[in-house]
Amino acid sequence: MEASVKIMLSYDYSHFEIALSSDNCDSADAVDELRKVAQRLADKAVKQYKTMKMVLSKNENSIYTKERFIEDVHRIDKNPNRKER
């Protein structure tokens, strides 16, 4: 049996959406486990968001701009230890 679940959370005017699917959910319990995994991922996203917001609020001069984000992405891409996904 195929199953898919979607979890959507709103926190502090931000929205987090997790969608998972599986081809081998043979019972309602298996679907519920898939939902729980999605919920944990969404909760983790909110926790990471809170952490980043707290870090940025401690230093008003450390505004994370789009340009800095792009620089960080390029720096990470150049890292020889980076694993492709």
Residue spans per domain, the chain: 3-58
pLDDT (0 to 100) of residue 42: 93
What residues does 10 pair with on adjacent strands?
15
**CA-CA distance, 13 to 5, in Å (whole number)?**
23
What is the pLDDT confidence band of residue 11, given thresholds at 50, 70 and 90? Answer: confident
Q: Residue 7: is its pLDDT beyond 70?
A: yes
Average pLDDT over residues 18-41: 91
pLDDT (0 to 100) of residue 45: 92
Entry pTM: 0.63
- CB-CB contact of 34 with 18 (8 Å): no
Tens-place pLDDT, residues 39-81: 999 999 999 999 888 877 776 555 667 777 888 888 888 877 7
Taking the CA atoms of 24, 28, 32 and 35 in sequence, report the sign of the dihedral they define.
positive
